[in-house]
Amino acid sequence: MPVSASDAKPNVSKRWILMLVGVAVVFGGVFLAKAIFAKKTNAFFDNMSQPAVTISAANASRQRWGNDNAAVGTLVAVNGIDVTAESGGVVRSIEFDAGQPVRAGAVLVRLNTANEDAVLKALESSAKLAQMQAQRWQELGRDKLVSLDDVQTRTTAAATARAQVEAQRALIAQKTVRAPFAGVLGIRRVNLGQYIAPGTAVVSLQQLDPIFVNFTLPEQMAGKLPEGTAVQATIDALPGQVFHGTVTAVDPQVDPSTRNFTAQATFANPEGALRPGSFARIGFDVGGERDVVAIPQTAVSFNPYGNAVFVIGKTARKPGETDARGNALTGDKLVVTQRFIRTGATRGDLIEVLEGLKPGEQVVTSGLLKLRNGTEVLVDNTVQPAADARPAVENR
């Protein structure tokens, strides 16, 4: 029996409804499964602790240090200048050898003085004439043949003429450049026939024996370094040699930008081995011993706003904490807390802590860049620093 169009419509509608129900069930199941998986994943990561950062650590220890200190400084000549010409002129002769020692007052350079010498002769003649006239008028004044004012005028004219002669001689003397003190000359900076202006450097001159070493110390050392304190100096350019001197001056002012003050030591330098401008390492002992709290220098983060360390402490784990494999973690864990400290002197690999740490507290000595407050850590102390005042590095 044939099916009419009116009988087929209900069947099509039923199939569409069944298809929509099936699609809703499938997609609903997918979204439900995804939601359950996401919930469990979030719960897993919420309860899983962050992997511990492997670091090395050391305890702040109380030690007894001698009052030996170290500083860095610069060698400075007792007298050191660039010898210059007081007056301009053409170089007529050069009477020194570069790099050689000279005595005080030795002639270094002579400038052309032909014109000045001619002027001097004219002035000397005028001065001689003025002196003769002054004497003649003085005789006339004694005989009351001329007034006293005329006598004084002639006398003043003679004195003025003599002064002009002396001024010209001084000008000629300025044309001769001399060493103002004994020392060692540097490299020549002028040539024969060269015109030099007033103030032109001719050659450097350095007095090398004795020689100064200027070095800086923190303001905490103020008053602890009296004059006469013995110091030792080593120079990188002269390995293996130790030079001995004494403190001869201490600057009373502290530099407000660095909070350091400058001290000056004097060293004998008969062989001229120490040269101005060289870098020097200074060591000295102010006597006695003191108790300090010391930690490795690598534990300190040196910052413009203050020095800080990471202090290691224990804290209880949250309930349900797990590792990356899902295993439950129990017991306390090691975490770090950043703390500001005030530091003092250094010795070898260690540094003195003046404030901020107590003996026995444990600080991080390596791996600081990976840390922040509350980070869990794992301590691995394979290598430990030493408190050797003069550590020697072994080449491997």
DSSP string, 207-275: EEEEEEEEEEEEGGGTTSS-TT-EEEEEETTEEEEEEEEEEEEE-SPPBTTTTEEEEEEEE--TT--S-
Contact by Cβ (8 Å): 147, 166 = no
Contact by Cβ (8 Å): 351, 341 = no
Place of tokens 């053409």: 90
Contact by Cβ (8 Å): 123, 161 = yes
In degrees, rounded to 5, the angle at the alpha carbon of residue 111 between the alpha carbons of residues 107 and 116 is: 120
**Local structure of 303: helix, strand or coil:** coil
- Span 240-287, pLDDT tens digits: 888 999 999 998 888 888 888 999 999 998 888 888 988 998 888 776
In degrees, rounded to 5, the angle at the alpha carbon of residue 131 between the alpha carbons of residues 130 and 134 is: 85
Q: What's residue 341's pLDDT? A: 92
Q: Residue 102, Cβ neighbours under 10 Å: how many?
A: 21
Q: What's residue 357's pLDDT? A: 92
Class of the CATH domain delimited by 53-63+291-379: mainly beta
Token digits of residue 218: 């923190």
Measured CA to CA, the distance from residue 334 to residue 183 in angstroms comes to 65
> Mean of the pLDDT values across residues 181-190?
90
Q: What share of residues in the chain are helix, strand, coil (percent, to 5)?
A: 25, 40, 30
User: Among the listed ranges 108-117, 206-215, 312-321, which one has the minimum average pLDDT value?
Assistant: 312-321
Measured CA to CA, the distance from residue 365 to residue 355 in angstroms comes to 18
- Span 36-69, pLDDT tens digits: 877 766 665 555 456 778 888 999 999 887 767 7
Q: Is the pLDDT of residue 386 over 60?
A: no
Q: What is the pTM of this model?
A: 0.56
Query: DSSP for 111-162?
Result: E--HHHHHHHHHHHHHHHHHHHHHHHHHHHHHTTSS-HHHHHHHHHHHHHHH
CATH 3.30.360.10 is right for the domain spanning 80-201: no
Of the candidates 352, 382, 347, 313, the residue with the CA atom closest to the CA atom of residue 61: 352
What are the residue boundaries of the structural domains of the chain, listed by start? 53-63+291-379, 70-76+207-290, 80-201
Contact by Cβ (8 Å): 193, 90 = yes
Contacts of 102 (CB under 8 A, 6+ apart): 96, 108, 179, 182, 183, 184, 185, 205
- Span 318-375, pLDDT tens digits: 665 655 455 556 667 888 999 999 988 787 788 989 999 999 999 999 888 888 888 8
Mean pLDDT of all residues belonging to the chain: 82
Contact by Cβ (8 Å): 78, 378 = no
Measured CA to CA, the distance from residue 340 to residue 308 in angstroms comes to 4
Of the candidates 367, 327, 364, 280, the residue with the CA atom closest to the CA atom of residue 76: 280
Q: Is the pLDDT of residue 72 over 80?
A: yes
- CATH number of 70-76+207-290, picked from 2.40.30.170, 2.160.20.10, 3.20.10.10, 3.20.20.70: 2.40.30.170
Q: How far apart are the first and last CA of the chain?
A: 105
Measured CA to CA, the distance from residue 67 to residue 224 in angstroms comes to 10
